[in-house]
Amino acid sequence: MNRIDRWFLEHAAPAFTGFTVAGDPDPEASVRVARTLVDAGVDILELGMPFSDPVADGPVIQRADQRALAAGTTPDAVFAIARALRADAGVPIVLLTYCNLVLNRGIGQFYRDAREAGIDGVLIVDMPVEESDGVREAARAAGIAPIFLVAPTTSAARQDGIIARASGFLYLVSVLGVTGTRNRVAEETLAFIRQMRSRTALPLAVGFGISEPEHVASCCEAGADAVIVGSAIVAIIERHLGDEEEMMAALSAYIATMRAATGEAPR
Protein backbone atom coordinates (compact mmCIF):
# COMPACT_ATOMS: atom_id res chain seq x y z
CA MET A 1 0.00 0.00 0.00
CA ASN A 2 1.23 3.48 -0.86
CA ARG A 3 2.44 5.40 2.21
CA ILE A 4 -0.04 8.20 1.51
CA ASP A 5 -2.99 5.80 1.50
CA ARG A 6 -1.67 4.13 4.64
CA TRP A 7 -1.32 7.44 6.46
CA PHE A 8 -4.94 8.45 5.86
CA LEU A 9 -6.16 4.94 6.66
CA GLU A 10 -4.39 4.92 10.02
CA HIS A 11 -5.10 8.49 11.21
CA ALA A 12 -8.39 10.14 12.05
CA ALA A 13 -7.07 13.68 12.51
CA PRO A 14 -5.99 15.74 9.50
CA ALA A 15 -2.43 15.56 8.17
CA PHE A 16 -0.08 18.50 8.42
CA THR A 17 1.87 18.71 5.16
CA GLY A 18 5.00 20.83 5.00
CA PHE A 19 6.57 22.00 1.74
CA THR A 20 10.16 22.96 1.03
CA VAL A 21 12.09 23.41 -2.19
CA ALA A 22 14.60 20.60 -2.61
CA GLY A 23 18.05 22.17 -2.83
CA ASP A 24 17.18 25.37 -0.95
CA PRO A 25 19.46 26.92 0.17
CA ASP A 26 21.72 24.15 -1.19
CA PRO A 27 21.27 20.39 -1.58
CA GLU A 28 23.03 19.38 1.65
CA ALA A 29 21.30 22.02 3.79
CA SER A 30 17.91 21.18 2.28
CA VAL A 31 18.22 17.61 3.58
CA ARG A 32 18.76 19.03 7.06
CA VAL A 33 15.78 21.36 6.60
CA ALA A 34 13.51 18.50 5.55
CA ARG A 35 14.65 16.32 8.45
CA THR A 36 13.91 19.19 10.81
CA LEU A 37 10.40 19.50 9.40
CA VAL A 38 9.77 15.78 9.88
CA ASP A 39 11.24 15.77 13.39
CA ALA A 40 9.07 18.77 14.29
CA GLY A 41 5.87 16.96 13.31
CA VAL A 42 5.23 17.14 9.57
CA ASP A 43 3.03 14.17 8.65
CA ILE A 44 3.52 14.39 4.88
CA LEU A 45 6.58 16.02 3.32
CA GLU A 46 6.21 17.85 0.01
CA LEU A 47 9.38 18.58 -1.95
CA GLY A 48 9.42 21.11 -4.74
CA MET A 49 11.65 20.28 -7.72
CA PRO A 50 13.24 23.66 -8.55
CA PHE A 51 12.26 25.02 -11.94
CA SER A 52 13.23 28.15 -13.84
CA ASP A 53 9.63 29.19 -14.55
CA PRO A 54 7.42 28.10 -11.62
CA VAL A 55 4.21 29.72 -12.84
CA ALA A 56 2.05 28.47 -9.96
CA ASP A 57 4.31 29.93 -7.30
CA GLY A 58 4.58 33.36 -5.75
CA PRO A 59 7.77 35.34 -5.14
CA VAL A 60 8.84 33.53 -1.95
CA ILE A 61 8.98 30.11 -3.60
CA GLN A 62 10.30 31.59 -6.85
CA ARG A 63 13.30 32.94 -4.95
CA ALA A 64 13.80 29.55 -3.29
CA ASP A 65 13.81 27.91 -6.73
CA GLN A 66 16.42 30.42 -7.86
CA ARG A 67 18.61 29.72 -4.82
CA ALA A 68 18.35 25.97 -5.38
CA LEU A 69 19.16 26.23 -9.08
CA ALA A 70 22.10 28.55 -8.37
CA ALA A 71 23.39 25.95 -5.90
CA GLY A 72 23.42 23.34 -8.66
CA THR A 73 20.22 21.46 -7.82
CA THR A 74 19.28 19.27 -10.78
CA PRO A 75 16.49 16.66 -10.98
CA ASP A 76 19.16 14.04 -10.20
CA ALA A 77 20.05 16.02 -7.07
CA VAL A 78 16.38 16.15 -6.06
CA PHE A 79 16.06 12.38 -6.33
CA ALA A 80 19.27 12.04 -4.28
CA ILE A 81 17.77 14.33 -1.61
CA ALA A 82 14.63 12.17 -1.51
CA ARG A 83 16.73 9.00 -1.16
CA ALA A 84 18.67 10.54 1.72
CA LEU A 85 15.43 11.43 3.48
CA ARG A 86 13.82 8.05 2.81
CA ALA A 87 16.77 6.33 4.48
CA ASP A 88 15.63 7.62 7.90
CA ALA A 89 12.10 9.01 7.47
CA GLY A 90 8.95 6.95 7.19
CA VAL A 91 6.61 9.81 6.28
CA PRO A 92 5.02 9.97 2.84
CA ILE A 93 6.98 12.14 0.40
CA VAL A 94 5.20 14.04 -2.37
CA LEU A 95 7.11 15.66 -5.24
CA LEU A 96 5.79 18.88 -6.79
CA THR A 97 7.11 19.52 -10.27
CA TYR A 98 6.35 20.94 -13.73
CA CYS A 99 5.68 19.26 -17.07
CA ASN A 100 8.94 20.29 -18.73
CA LEU A 101 11.03 18.51 -16.11
CA VAL A 102 9.04 15.28 -16.47
CA LEU A 103 8.98 15.31 -20.27
CA ASN A 104 12.65 16.19 -20.55
CA ARG A 105 13.60 13.13 -18.52
CA GLY A 106 11.03 10.91 -20.16
CA ILE A 107 7.79 10.07 -18.37
CA GLY A 108 8.62 6.43 -17.67
CA GLN A 109 12.16 7.20 -16.51
CA PHE A 110 10.97 10.04 -14.29
CA TYR A 111 8.55 7.78 -12.43
CA ARG A 112 11.00 4.92 -12.18
CA ASP A 113 13.55 7.30 -10.66
CA ALA A 114 10.91 8.70 -8.31
CA ARG A 115 10.00 5.21 -7.15
CA GLU A 116 13.65 4.31 -6.57
CA ALA A 117 14.04 7.51 -4.53
CA GLY A 118 11.14 6.58 -2.25
CA ILE A 119 8.64 9.17 -3.50
CA ASP A 120 4.98 8.34 -2.89
CA GLY A 121 3.09 10.95 -4.89
CA VAL A 122 3.76 13.38 -7.73
CA LEU A 123 1.89 16.58 -8.50
CA ILE A 124 2.66 18.08 -11.92
CA VAL A 125 1.31 21.56 -11.36
CA ASP A 126 0.88 22.66 -14.99
CA MET A 127 -0.38 19.37 -16.46
CA PRO A 128 -4.05 19.41 -17.56
CA VAL A 129 -5.87 16.33 -16.37
CA GLU A 130 -7.09 15.74 -19.93
CA GLU A 131 -3.47 15.16 -20.99
CA SER A 132 -2.52 12.94 -18.06
CA ASP A 133 -3.09 9.42 -19.41
CA GLY A 134 0.60 8.63 -20.02
CA VAL A 135 1.65 10.11 -16.71
CA ARG A 136 -1.02 8.25 -14.76
CA GLU A 137 -0.04 4.97 -16.40
CA ALA A 138 3.61 5.49 -15.47
CA ALA A 139 2.70 6.63 -11.97
CA ARG A 140 0.55 3.62 -11.24
CA ALA A 141 3.13 1.23 -12.68
CA ALA A 142 5.57 2.73 -10.18
CA GLY A 143 3.11 2.64 -7.26
CA ILE A 144 3.09 6.43 -7.09
CA ALA A 145 -0.08 8.45 -6.52
CA PRO A 146 -0.95 10.90 -9.32
CA ILE A 147 -2.11 14.03 -7.49
CA PHE A 148 -4.15 16.78 -9.13
CA LEU A 149 -5.15 20.33 -8.30
CA VAL A 150 -8.78 21.40 -8.02
CA ALA A 151 -9.51 25.13 -7.92
CA PRO A 152 -12.65 26.97 -6.80
CA THR A 153 -13.29 27.80 -10.47
CA THR A 154 -13.08 24.17 -11.64
CA SER A 155 -16.39 23.16 -13.21
CA ALA A 156 -18.39 20.28 -11.77
CA ALA A 157 -17.79 18.22 -14.91
CA ARG A 158 -14.04 18.78 -14.71
CA GLN A 159 -14.08 18.00 -10.98
CA ASP A 160 -15.61 14.64 -11.86
CA GLY A 161 -12.84 13.98 -14.38
CA ILE A 162 -10.15 14.84 -11.86
CA ILE A 163 -11.73 12.76 -9.11
CA ALA A 164 -11.88 9.77 -11.46
CA ARG A 165 -8.17 10.05 -12.28
CA ALA A 166 -6.64 11.07 -8.95
CA SER A 167 -5.32 9.01 -6.08
CA GLY A 168 -3.52 9.78 -2.83
CA PHE A 169 -5.39 13.02 -2.23
CA LEU A 170 -6.93 15.96 -4.05
CA TYR A 171 -5.01 19.20 -3.72
CA LEU A 172 -7.61 21.94 -3.21
CA VAL A 173 -6.40 25.40 -4.16
CA SER A 174 -7.77 27.64 -1.43
CA VAL A 175 -7.43 30.92 -3.35
CA LEU A 176 -7.18 32.11 -6.91
CA GLY A 177 -3.67 33.11 -7.96
CA VAL A 178 -0.24 31.82 -6.98
CA THR A 179 1.20 30.43 -3.76
CA GLY A 180 1.89 32.81 -0.89
CA THR A 181 0.67 33.66 2.59
CA ARG A 182 -2.75 35.27 3.08
CA ASN A 183 -4.37 37.04 6.02
CA ARG A 184 -7.38 34.76 6.36
CA VAL A 185 -9.26 31.81 4.94
CA ALA A 186 -12.25 33.14 3.04
CA GLU A 187 -15.73 31.74 3.65
CA GLU A 188 -15.78 30.82 -0.04
CA THR A 189 -12.80 28.53 0.59
CA LEU A 190 -14.55 26.79 3.47
CA ALA A 191 -17.65 26.35 1.32
CA PHE A 192 -15.43 24.89 -1.43
CA ILE A 193 -13.99 22.34 1.02
CA ARG A 194 -17.49 21.33 2.15
CA GLN A 195 -18.68 21.08 -1.46
CA MET A 196 -15.76 18.84 -2.44
CA ARG A 197 -16.27 16.74 0.67
CA SER A 198 -19.77 15.96 -0.58
CA ARG A 199 -18.43 14.87 -3.99
CA THR A 200 -15.65 12.41 -3.15
CA ALA A 201 -14.24 10.11 -0.49
CA LEU A 202 -10.68 10.95 -1.58
CA PRO A 203 -8.69 12.80 1.09
CA LEU A 204 -8.82 16.57 0.59
CA ALA A 205 -5.65 18.58 1.15
CA VAL A 206 -5.96 22.36 1.20
CA GLY A 207 -3.05 24.56 0.16
CA PHE A 208 -2.13 28.03 -1.13
CA GLY A 209 -2.22 30.76 1.49
CA ILE A 210 -2.28 28.63 4.67
CA SER A 211 0.12 30.26 7.14
CA GLU A 212 -1.53 30.65 10.57
CA PRO A 213 -2.90 28.14 13.12
CA GLU A 214 -6.33 29.71 12.67
CA HIS A 215 -6.20 28.89 8.95
CA VAL A 216 -5.39 25.26 9.75
CA ALA A 217 -8.20 24.95 12.28
CA SER A 218 -10.78 26.55 9.95
CA CYS A 219 -9.91 24.22 7.06
CA CYS A 220 -9.96 21.14 9.28
CA GLU A 221 -13.32 22.09 10.77
CA ALA A 222 -14.72 22.49 7.24
CA GLY A 223 -13.74 18.90 6.40
CA ALA A 224 -10.17 19.03 5.09
CA ASP A 225 -8.16 15.84 5.58
CA ALA A 226 -4.85 17.70 5.27
CA VAL A 227 -3.46 21.20 5.13
CA ILE A 228 -0.41 22.14 3.09
CA VAL A 229 1.92 24.93 4.18
CA GLY A 230 4.66 26.07 1.84
CA SER A 231 5.43 29.76 1.48
CA ALA A 232 5.43 30.42 5.23
CA ILE A 233 8.00 27.63 5.73
CA VAL A 234 10.14 28.79 2.82
CA ALA A 235 10.01 32.37 4.16
CA ILE A 236 11.51 31.16 7.46
CA ILE A 237 14.36 29.55 5.53
CA GLU A 238 14.92 32.78 3.62
CA ARG A 239 14.95 34.93 6.77
CA HIS A 240 17.66 32.79 8.37
CA LEU A 241 19.97 32.06 5.44
CA GLY A 242 22.96 33.31 7.40
CA ASP A 243 22.30 31.27 10.56
CA GLU A 244 21.33 27.63 10.11
CA GLU A 245 20.93 26.98 13.82
CA GLU A 246 18.39 29.79 14.11
CA MET A 247 16.72 28.57 10.93
CA MET A 248 16.15 25.08 12.32
CA ALA A 249 14.94 26.40 15.67
CA ALA A 250 12.45 28.72 13.95
CA LEU A 251 11.22 25.95 11.65
CA SER A 252 10.73 23.55 14.56
CA ALA A 253 8.76 26.07 16.59
CA TYR A 254 6.55 27.04 13.65
CA ILE A 255 5.77 23.45 12.63
CA ALA A 256 4.89 22.47 16.20
CA THR A 257 2.46 25.39 16.50
CA MET A 258 0.82 24.78 13.14
CA ARG A 259 0.51 21.02 13.54
CA ALA A 260 -1.15 21.44 16.93
CA ALA A 261 -3.98 23.24 15.16
CA THR A 262 -4.94 20.03 13.30
CA GLY A 263 -6.04 18.54 16.60
CA GLU A 264 -3.59 15.61 16.38
CA ALA A 265 -1.50 14.89 19.46
CA PRO A 266 2.27 15.39 18.92
CA ARG A 267 4.19 12.27 17.85
Catalytic residue positions? 46, 57
Contact between 213 and 264 under an 8 Å Cβ cutoff? The reply is: no
Q: What is the CA radius of gyration of the chain?
A: 17
Beta bridge partners of 94: 46, 121
Alpha helices for the chain (secondary structure H): 3-10, 27-40, 59-70, 75-86, 99-105, 107-117, 133-141, 156-165, 187-197, 213-221, 231-239, 244-260
> What sign for the dihedral angle of Cα 167, 53, 22, 204?
negative
On whether the CB atoms of residues 230 and 254 are closer than 8 A, the answer is no
